[in-house]
Chains A and B, each alone.
Chain A
Amino acid sequence: IVLTQSPATLSVSPGETATLSCRASQILNNNLAWYQQKPGQAPRLLIYGASTRATGIPARFSGSESGTELTLTISSLRSEDFAVYYCHQYDKWPLTFGGGTKVEIK
């Protein structure tokens, strides 16, 4: 399954909302996760099951699924949210990641 993330880079001002897209080549049956990665760090799980926040993840992070379109929305962006975000499907082998979206400060 191919995951296509867009845009590659998203420039957003603090306090605004960022909307990240992940398009799958097949229906994923909600078997999608989102990860955040900061420079020099390992990825961190944000969302699983397309829309369930992982433990300790703030409510400003939300995920949704509509057919083959998956969306991660980050509302009221804070300085610590500027990072690279990856979607990841675990519906079919081999598992795959999207290419990532970098959220940068505008």
Chain B
Amino acid sequence: EVQLVESGGALVQPGGSLRLSCTASGFTFTAYAVTWVRQAPGKGLEWVSVISSSGGHTQYADSVRGRFTISRDNSRNTVYLHMNSLTAEDTAVYYCAKGMWGAYVDYWGQGTLVTVSS
């Protein structure tokens, strides 16, 4: 069974940093890209970032480029999202999902909540 489990969500102050993790199981992790998508409370989905299967390629939404960094450790079946200079607009549930590079995602985790507030 495909599983993606996000962790690391927390309450953080404006200007702070946080690292999210996405740990995968049930599929060949090294064959798939992993995407982060977020959803602010009561709002729609926002694509955030993606990393290729090898980790050699990444893409970011304009809203997070320069502040967020995506990385992966294929030995741990885990993808990370390093988030810096957080603002209230980054408050959201963050989902990770698997798919092929440059394509749709087919399985999603259940999400982790990030709240940016003083």
Which residues of A approach B to under 8 Å, CB–CB?
31, 33, 35, 37, 41-45, 48, 54, 84, 86, 88, 90, 93-100
Residue numbers in A under 8 Å from B105 (CB-CB): 45
Contact indicator A90/B45 (Cβ below 8 Å): no
A-B complex: 4 closest residue pairs judged by Cβ atoms = A33-B104, A42-B108, A97-B45, A95-B47
Residue numbers in B under 8 Å from A44 (CB-CB): 108
Contact with A along B76-118 (1 / 0, CB 8 A): 0000000000000000000100000011111111110000000
A42 contact from B59, B61, B104, B109, Cβ within 8 A = B109
B29 within 8 A of A: no
Residue numbers in B under 8 Å from A42 (CB-CB): 95, 108-111
Contact indicator A94/B62 (Cβ below 8 Å): yes
A97 contact from B44, B59, B60, B109, Cβ within 8 A = B44
Contact indicator A96/B47 (Cβ below 8 Å): yes
Q: Which of A33, A95, A98 has the most CB of B within 10 A?
A: A95
Residue numbers in B under 8 Å from A100 (CB-CB): 44-45
Residue numbers in A under 8 Å from B50 (CB-CB): 95
**Looking across the interface, which residue of chain B has its beta carbon closest to that of A92?**
B102
Q: Roughly how many angstroms separate A2 CA and B107 CA in the complex, as a whole number?
A: 24
B46 within 8 A of A: yes
Taking the closest CB of chain A, its distance from the CB of B55, in whole angstroms, is: 17
**Looking across the interface, which residue of chain A has its beta carbon closest to that of B101?**
A90
**Looking across the interface, which residue of chain A has its beta carbon closest to that of B93?**
A42
Residue numbers in B under 8 Å from A31 (CB-CB): 103
Q: Roughly how many angstroms separate A35 CA and B105 CA in the complex, as a whole number?
A: 10
Contact indicator A86/B45 (Cβ below 8 Å): yes
**Looking across the interface, which residue of chain B has its beta carbon closest to that of A84?**
B44
Q: Roughly how many angstroms separate A97 CA and B103 CA in the complex, as a whole number?
A: 13
Contact with A along B37-63 (1 / 0, CB 8 A): 100000011110010000000011110
Known contacts being A97-B44, A97-B47, is A90 close to B102, with CB within 8 Å? Answer: yes
Q: Roughly how many angstroms separate A45 CA and B103 CA in the complex, as a whole number?
A: 12
Known contacts being A42-B110, A43-B108, A88-B104, is A94 close to B46, with CB within 8 Å? Answer: no
